[in-house]
Amino acid sequence: MHSVLDGGFLMREGLNVARLYYDREERWWKWGEKMMDPTGALVSASAPAWDGCVVAFSGPQRFHLEFRLQGRGEAVLLLHERGAAYAEQVGATEPAMGIARMLMNLCEAAGASYCAFPVADPWLVDEDWKSLLRPPLYPDFFLLPEAEAPQSAPEAFRAIRLKGKRVMWTALPVKATPADPPLKRDERQLKVDRLRQLKALGEKYYDQMYESRHGATGLYSNTKDVFSDAIFLANELGMKEEAEALSKRLDHIKAVFRSQFS
């Protein structure tokens, strides 16, 4: 809380705190009562005893902090922001450095072992950090202990060594040193990154089909939609071999669903 407030952000006006309850039987986070906390003092004093909460801040990013303190695993801190703000951050150095500093400050203030950003809903449901590191990677930004990172960063990512024997993996146009020139990514580079994310998301939905047979049909539909988007984007980029490989993968998934879930 203090890390964000000290960064120049204020609490959002009006109702700006929502208490969260964790349903252990359903493994689901549910919203509870909403409150006004003009200074953040209520959250700082009371929230450690709650299952979790969501806190809203002012500013164009519309940052929300979500604390998941008493779930099924270790405590997790989530940072949410507007999609329009992130669209700027992935394209140019100055806004990219802004989100990188925010994440690094939050990670240090919380004493977090790992950080990944952004993270799509399927991983938030699983609350499975390690699955975020299985290629293809969805997040554009990682902070992790150097000893637990592979020797080299994945393709399209840069590895930047940090103090405290930690490393940053990032596809964002951040500077490794203050002397580095600013970067601006073109539309094709951004679309290639989006293709990587679609492939990761499709594979994640496919994995979840086996973990939740009750909701397998919905997850199958999500899988098909994401792979179809990935195939379309690969063709748009002129990546014919990639599009063919994705089409074969989708055909395999359809065959598996018909044989095992229908």
How many Å is the Cα radius of gyration of the chain? 20
Q: How confident is the model at residue 127 (pLDDT cuts 50, 70, 90)?
A: confident
Average confidence (pLDDT) over 191-204: 97
Distance from CA of residue 169 to its chain's centroid?
14
Average confidence (pLDDT) over 206-215: 79
Separation between Cα atoms, residue 158 and residue 176, nearest integer Å: 9
The pLDDT of residue 213 is 60
DSSP string, 178-213: TTSPP-B--HHHHHHHHHHHHHHHHHHHHHHHHH-G
Alpha helices of 35-186 — where are they, by DSSP H?
41-46, 83-89, 93-110, 121-126
Give the position of tokens 């203050």: 178
151, pLDDT greater than 80: no
- Enumerate the domain spans of the chain: 1-80, 82-183, 187-260
For all residues of the chain together, what is the average pLDDT? 93
What angle, rounded to 10 degrees, do the helices at 240-260 and 216-236 form? 170
Contacting residues for 240 by C-beta, under 8 A, at least 6 apart = 234
Largest CA distance in the chain: 58
The pLDDT of residue 141 is 97
The closest alpha carbon to 133, from 235, 125, 119, 121, belongs to 119
Q: What is the 3-state secondary structure (H, E, C) of 125-142?
A: HHCCCHHHHCCCCCCCEE
The pLDDT of residue 156 is 85
Q: How confident is the model at residue 150 (pLDDT cuts 50, 70, 90)?
A: confident
Separation between Cα atoms, residue 24 and residue 27, nearest integer Å: 5
81, pLDDT greater than 80: yes
Q: How confident is the model at residue 214 (pLDDT cuts 50, 70, 90)?
A: low
pTM as predicted: 0.92
Residues 250 and 222: beta-carbon distance below 8 Å: no
238: alpha, beta or left? (left if phi > 0; alpha if psi -120 to 50): left
The pLDDT of residue 25 is 86
227, pLDDT greater than 70: yes
DSSP string, 216-229: HHHHHHHHHHHHHH
Q: How confident is the model at residue 55 (pLDDT cuts 50, 70, 90)?
A: very high
Average confidence (pLDDT) over 38-61: 95
